[in-house]
Amino acid sequence: MSDGRGRGLDSGGAGGDFGLFRERQAVRAALLYGEGMFVPKVSVDGPDTGKWYMMAVEGKIAVRRVGYCGGNCDGHSTQSEAVEHFLQYQLDREVDLWLSRRGERGCEICGEPTTLRARLGRKTELVVLCQKHQSTISLQKLARTSMAAASVNEAALLVNQA
Ligand SMILES: [Zn+2]
Ligand SMILES: [Zn+2]
């Protein structure tokens, strides 16, 4: 057997608590950022001035609206509404449940050891959820928590750059 090499996620062993902690941090970041970097941004000019949209960012430039904000969306009056709109898109379109992996990890919600994983968003880190907690509701709960925290940081960043 020569599989498992360079696969990233489940390769290597050990790691211990430190590895687990770092992985959890990565999961939280990935829930928000996914493959690129998605942040809520307020329009500063044009007819949408003052409206918030979830945007994909390349470098430091917001290049396009993403998720439902990229479709038929009139913009949002707060950044958390924009984040919520994007989260809804991910929950509707980009959820994987009941993924099975080799190692047992503690469920993100209850800590129960499990080999099951879930994923929210594309190319994002896996989230550990036990059998009982394999649901979009759990993903929603975790994402809301991490997004709320991340949004505060992003808001501070955006203010500093303005
Ligand atoms: Zn929107
Ligand atoms: Zn659980």
Over residues 69-109, the pLDDT tens digits come to 999 999 999 988 998 999 999 999 999 999 999 999 999 99
Sorting pLDDT into bands at 50, 70 and 90, what band is 57? confident
119 C-alpha to ligand 1 centroid (Å): 22
Residue 13 pLDDT more than 50?
A: no
Residue 10 pLDDT more than 50?
A: no
The span from the CA of 66 to the CA of 76, in Å, is: 13
* pLDDT (mean) for 104-126: 94
Provide the whole-model pTM.
Answer: 0.68
102 C-alpha to ligand 2 centroid (Å): 17
Residue 128 pLDDT more than 90?
A: yes
On the 0-12 / 13-18 / 19+ scale of CB atoms within 10 A, 135 is middle
Query: Measured in Å, how far apart are the chain's first and last C-alpha atoms?
Result: 54
107 C-alpha to ligand 2 centroid (Å): 5
94 C-alpha to ligand 2 centroid (Å): 21
Residue 35 pLDDT more than 90?
A: no
